[in-house]
Amino acid sequence: MMDANPILAETLRGNWVENRHRGAYVVTDADGSIIAAAGDIERPVFPRSSIKSIQALAIFARQADSQFALTDAELALACASHTAQEVHVEVASGLLSRLGLSAADLECGAHQPIDAAARAALRAQGLKPSSLHNACSGKHSGMLSVALAMGVPTAGYGSREHAVQQQVRACIEAVIGETLTETKCGTDGCSIPTYAAPLHSFARGFARMATGQGLSPETAASAKRLFDAATGHPQLVAGTGHPDTLIMTAFKGRVMQKYGADGVQCGAIRDKGWGYALKCDDGSLPASLAMLAGLLLQIAAPDPEQRTLLEGFAHQPIKSVRGAVVGEMRAVWR
């Protein structure tokens, strides 16, 4: 029996530890050499939305970027799990309109905006959310551009067997250096396939995206443009007050950061050429954020302003319904 992953975060209520959160992380260079690691980094995990920037390489692989003149804002949204603020909806709908498509062509499904103000605005107008408000509408709009560039039907583009998803899968395999298999495949919340692979491979993939090493010249150039677009438009990658947006804004292009559902965090320290991948075993997003902050405090060489931001994520206050601080989610670094 394998040893359990180490405790990397814990919840403190009053003066007592209430919950302990185990996880694993790894930091590598583009060759896969380990800079830092803890826990089982070879256990396959679903990366979920943390690898949207890698999935977006399909846009370039099929020249949809040039055929449809995708802007940096549209590319940033293709890497996003956005909160459905007005700007997110506008960018997604603008791309769809230019493609000759609409929200009805999106296969991600509709859900309420993540952003509270956006939810309130919809309610005030008596409107229901559409697929444009889905956190993944930017990614799906990008995938529709791939279908059109390939000359294949847009209907069913989210299915595992569709040519678009086959292209996305090939792009992921080329970047992380792993063959993705049907034996470790599921369906993500936005209805596209998600494949499990080792944390180590995802960290190496982000290092390759940051440096271009191990990639073809064309893919390296595409990766740089995607990272530049995302870090240059952090508001589009998540939204106001979201940790991904705040971290990338604070680090001014040095850090590419993206969360995924169920406690995954992936990214790159671009100036160091390092990629990282982290998974909280119990899927807690707040715990994974505390773990991420602990990691970035160690490896990202933060300046005082950046350190203050990360310390806030590494020590998240827990409040009662009345607003009193009653505990803390905190990183336990090792």
Q: What is the pLDDT of residues 51-110, one digit of tens each?
A: 999 999 999 999 999 999 999 999 999 999 999 999 999 999 999 999 999 999 999 999
Query: d(Cα 216, Cα 241) in Å, to the nearest integer?
Result: 36
Compute CA distances 249 → 233, 236, 257, whole Å: 8, 11, 10
Q: DSSP character for 180?
A: -
The residues pairing with 319 across neighbouring beta strands, listed in sequence order, are 325
Instruction: State the amino acid at position 21 in one-letter form.
Output: H
CA distance 220 to 218: 5
Residue 311 tokens read as 């310390």
pLDDT top residue among 333 and 86:
86
CA dist., res. 186 & res. 205, Å (int)? 20
Q: Is the pLDDT of residue 334 over 90?
A: no
The stretch 176-188 carries a mean pLDDT of 96
* Confidence band, pLDDT 50/70/90 cuts, at residue 2: low
Q: What is the mean pLDDT of residues 219-247?
A: 98
1: pLDDT strictly greater than 60: no
pTM confidence score: 0.96
Instruction: Look at the block and give the residue holding tokens 């298999």.
Output: 181
Whether 205 has a pLDDT exceeding 90, the answer reads yes
199, 295 contact by CB (below 8 A): no
| Domain range annotation of the chain | 7-180+189-331
DSSP 17-84: EEEEEEEEEEEE-TT--EEEEES-SSSEE--GGGGHHHHTHHHHHTTHHHHTT--HHHHHHHT-----
Dist CA 295 CA 285 (whole Å)? 15
Instruction: Using the predicted structure, report yes or no on whether residue 230 has a pLDDT greater than 90.
Output: yes
Q: How many Å apart are CA 225 and CA 140, to the nearest integer? A: 19
Q: Regarding beta strands 197-198 and 255-260, do their DSSP bridges make them parallel or antiparallel, or are they unpaired? A: unpaired
pLDDT in tens, 141-156: 999 999 999 999 999 9
Instruction: Judge whether residue 333 has pLDDT over 90.
Output: no
The verdict on domain 7-180+189-331 having CATH code 3.40.710 is yes
pLDDT digits (tens, 9 = 90+) for 6-38: 999 999 999 999 999 999 999 999 999 999 999
